[in-house]
Amino acid sequence: MDESTNPAPEPMAISSEAIPSELVALPVANTAVITPLVPAEVAAPPARRKQSAVDLISMWLGNLVVSLLTAAFVVIFLYQPVKVEGTSMLPGLEDQERIFVNRFVYRLEPISRGDVIVFRYPRDTSKSYIKRVIGVAGDRIHIVDGLVYVNGEALSEDYVPQQYADWRSVPELTVPQGSFFMMGDHRNMSSDSRDFGPVEQKFVVGKAVFGYWPFEKLGKVK
């Protein structure tokens, strides 16, 4: 199957022993010298330090809130994390691999051959598939013994290792306007446009752009 969707640090307490507002007598040569202490002058630095700590924490919390809001915006409106279920995109994408899907990119650029995209399964939109775009609108697709021809030319597919190829043939067809011909890289384990036909753009969710788990697969989806 191919479905995929699924303290602040406490401020340092600044304390200082209260300095009594009294006079201290220091004996010098049998003479009492009176030296007054000025509490206000001594207490001022701790107060400034305390205020600086509060300002620092407020700034830290403000930056944290901004960062969280930015991350939420990116995830909600631009990127969607999904889990790959199934083996139809091996060896590029593994079963249970986690990836990010860019849901906004196709508002800025067209879907192109070679893109790996997530789309709603046309026959059951509660399911989502992930496949590679083989043909776009107007392309003539013809598959002979597993070899894919696009507009009369054999398609170079280095993403399909020999052990994942199959030998099915598909009569020539022209991809309709607003539709795309999709295929999985693991050809002998994939249900794709060879079975259910071209996929209309209205079913497209977005472009698979980045794998983030497992960590050894971290990087751009190719």
Domain membership of residue 73 (yes or no) is no
Domain hosting residue 126, numbered range: 87-220
Where do we find the tokens 């013994």? Answer: 145
CATH of the domain at 160: 2.10.109.10
Give yes or no: 127 in active site. no
Identify whether 77 is part of a domain. Answer: no
- Identified catalytic residue from 88, 128, 179, 193: 88
* Phi-psi domain of 122 (left: phi exceeds 0; alpha: psi -120 through 50; beta: other): alpha
Does some domain include residue 202? yes
HEC-encoded secondary structure of 106-147: HHCCCCCCCCEEEEECCCCCCCEEEEEEEECCCCEEEEECCE
131 is catalytic: yes
Side-chain-facing half-sphere of 134: CA atoms under 13 Å = 33
Q: Is residue 45 part of a domain?
A: no
Question: How do the pLDDT tens digits run along the chain, 222 residues long?
Answer: 454 455 444 433 333 343 333 333 334 444 344 444 445 444 455 556 666 888 888 888 888 888 887 777 666 668 999 999 999 999 999 999 999 999 999 999 999 999 999 999 999 999 999 999 999 999 999 999 999 999 999 999 999 999 999 999 999 999 999 999 999 999 999 999 999 999 999 999 999 999 999 999 999 999
Report CA torsion sign: 34, 35, 37, 41: positive
Using CA atoms of 198, 166, 5, 123 in order, give the dihedral in degrees to the nearest 10.
40
Residue 59 covered by a domain: no
**Residue 181 counted as domain residue:** yes
Counting the structural domains of the chain, the total is: 1
28 assigned to some structural domain = no
Collect all residues with Cβ–Cβ distance below 8 Å to 149 and sequence separation of at least 6. 140, 141, 142, 143, 155
Annotated catalytic residue: which of 4, 128, 131, 193? 131
Residue 117: inside a domain: yes
